[in-house]
Chain A
């Protein structure tokens, strides 16, 4: 039994060291990432960009297409998340107004062009 422990303990210690190194000290460097991995503030700023463009373009389909890069969530939900972040983090009132307009427009928009 002690002979087995002599193997198991250093082996377990080695695993722990490997995990520590691979997860904490030198984790895998990622590149070519998708936008859904972006930090929340960058996502919110992207929603703000879309809102700024929407103010002039008034094209919810185009805005929805821009927001679609974030994945499977609905465009209005993505925009609402951005708006919530903006409200919670002291974005300028003028920016929040723009984002609110986008959220409202996307909530009323349907991909088939109809009005709910």
Chain B
């Protein structure tokens, strides 16, 4: 979208005197958008009500938070990708039945009952989105980042995937087929990125360290010779 259109919207919002999406219109970081100051208090109040009513145990909340902050995350997905790169039989199983092959490495659970792995090749580039909400393969990638759940990504990934990829610095050649996977129901998608050239000597751990979350969503390719890139 052009800057002009954005500016027009900003002006229109200001002129209308509305409070709708002020930060959005000014393009500020979503992480720091204005949250009503009472949000934290509302959540605290709800928690104490639920605890008093015997509906939740606060220690169970601590345990759930700890799980997704420390035990589940894209590191899991990196292990899966690295294994697929070095073990052709594993890769075959992974592409045929993602859930089962991922479980071989010990990863399964909520938002991962049916995981499908789609492979990037010289002729196909895959991109994952959930236009309706935020579906994401938790067992291998953890909880999704803010941008994945944001309106700009959800709205444009399906209509302008090449433009979205460009915003991430990823240029897909015109002859390559772009496949967008809109995770609307029950299936969760992970991209198996292409193994970068020049990594033939690396072992599984070193390969896993190269794999990024973004490459498994499909918005980025994996860079190997990072030391030579400008900071």
Do these two chains interact? no
- A residues in contact (CB < 8 Å) with B: none
- B residues in contact (CB < 8 Å) with A: none
